[in-house]
Amino acid sequence: MAEITEQQILDTLKCVPDPERKQDIVSLGMVQGLRVKDGHVALALEVEPQRGPKLEPLRKQVEQLIHRLPGVLTATVVLTAQRQPAPAAAQGPASRAGGGQAPRQAAPELLAEVKAIIAVASGKGGVGKSTTAVNLALAFARLGQRTGLLDADVYGPSVRRLLGITGNPSSRDGQKLDPMERYGIKAMSMAFLVEEDTPIVWRGPMVQSALEQMMRDVAWGPLDVVVVDMPPGTGDTQLTMAQRVPLAGAVIVSTPQDIALIDARKGLNMFRKVDVPVLGLIENMSYFCCPNCGHRTEIFGHGGARREAAAMGLDFLGEIPLDIVIRETSDGGHPIVAADPDGEHAKAYLAIAERLVAKLDHAIAERTAAAPRIVIQ
């Protein structure tokens, strides 16, 4: 079948009027960022922020229309707002576990059936943030927690590869997408909806919209914990996500070198700025484990991260060695906590997950106490 073209999609959308303005959505310039690749179509409908909720039926209509066109395999349509939402400065701490306050925005609460949402973040890419997020999620599941994993790194989603998930999500009720399931956890990633090698030029509002849809339009069901693999860095988009997702807390992943370069500090300050409690620091690639003899080499010296964490007023959650088996298992879609659940490395992730569960339980127990601020120990 011939590949569908952008022009064919635009021609079709010229027949769709904006319900309030009686002109078609193409002439009004609402269709943005149209991408077509191998039958996968993605676009954004740019709307004024206040009209966003009303235009959900239009978004669905456009998605269905494109989906019905011959040669289209998947259609992803997101609403984008021209203006960023108001900063969260005037809003209280959104931590469900931490503060028990109202959600940060007036829109319906996202992930309302989830007890605690934990962001896994890093100051920069390549430090093993996604590897840590996935193994932590698996460790939570092993501790008996009903666990979800949300890949918020829409620029470079890696959860599909790390969990070895193939196929695409379906919908049992025709309303919401069911998350994919693997190794006892539920997972959602843009990579399940858009082909991984499709280059999408994401813009700030599109990212927000995509993330919101992965929470609002996915049947997560009741869960104890959702681990969010955040995008690396401290850009505006990342900051906005930290504001809009009702996070119980953030975990910062860093390598020993980056702690020295204070990249982690930037990430830390970002969360503090938006009143998200930082649950602690995980040192990844902490020491080198020789694959032949098991000898441990402290390449960057020992204890530096723990000291740095203490200096920053942060809890040190644990250290994970640099070991080729961690790379091979996660890059092979079979992360170490699933591949070798009783091994040393799995135990390290389990110990960190246990500490986090205890911290969250503690926060929930304190919810009724009228603490004006969350104190980071």
Report the C-alpha gap between 71 and 185 in whole angstroms.
Answer: 33
By CB under 6 A, tell whether 190 contacts ligand ADP: no
Phi-psi region of 166 (alpha: psi -120 to 50; beta: other; left: phi over 0): beta
Out of 36, 55, 241, 322, point to the residue binding ligand ADP (CB under 6 A).
322
Which among 149, 147, 178 has a CA at the least distance from the CA of 162? 149
Name the nearest CA neighbour of 78 among 212, 196, 242.
212
Given a contact cutoff of 8 angstroms between Cβ atoms, the answer to whether 107 and 374 are in contact is no
Work out whether 128 is an interface residue with ligand ADP (CB under 6 A). Answer: yes
Least distance to ligand ADP from the beta carbon of 136, Å?
A: 11
Cβ closer to ligand ADP: 79 or 285? 285
Query: Using the rule CB under 6 A, which residue among 19, 126, 303, 313 binds ligand ADP?
Result: 126
Written as six digits, the tokens of 147 are 């666990």
Which CB, 81 or 127, lies closer to ligand ADP?
A: 127
Q: Quick one: which of 40, 203, 327, 334 contacts ligand ADP (CB under 6 A)? A: 327
- Residue number, 95 or 158, with CB nearest to ligand ADP: 158
**Nearest-approach distance from CB 99 to ligand ADP, in angstroms:** 28
| Only segment of 93-101, 127-135, 200-208, 346-354 that touches ligand ADP (CB under 6 A) | 127-135
164 part of the interface to ligand ADP, by CB under 6 A: no
The count of chain residues that interact with ligand ADP, using the rule CB under 6 A, is 19
Positions 281 through 310 that interact with ligand ADP (CB under 6 A): 284-285
Give the one residue of 158, 208, 238, 243 binding ligand ADP; rule: CB under 6 A: 158
Residue 240 as a binder of ligand ADP (CB under 6 A): the answer is no
Residue 208 near ligand ADP by CB under 6 A:
no
What is the spatial order of strands in the sheet that 74-81 belongs to? Answer: 31-37, 40-47, 74-81
**Residue 339 lies near ligand ADP (rule: CB under 6 A):** no
Binding residue (CB under 6 A) for ligand ADP from 131, 145, 147, 237: 131
Scanning 8-16, 89-97, 129-137, 274-282 for contacts with ligand ADP by CB under 6 A, the matching segment is 129-137
Exactly one of 127, 230, 350, 357 binds ligand ADP (CB under 6 A); which one? 127
Measured from the CB atom, the residue of 129 and 265 that comes closer to ligand ADP is: 129
Residues 6+ apart with CB under 8 A from 56: 79
Task: Verify binding: residue 320, ligand ADP, rule CB under 6 A.
Answer: yes
Site residues, ligand ADP (CB under 6 A):
122, 125-131, 158, 232, 284-285, 320, 322-323, 326-327, 330-331
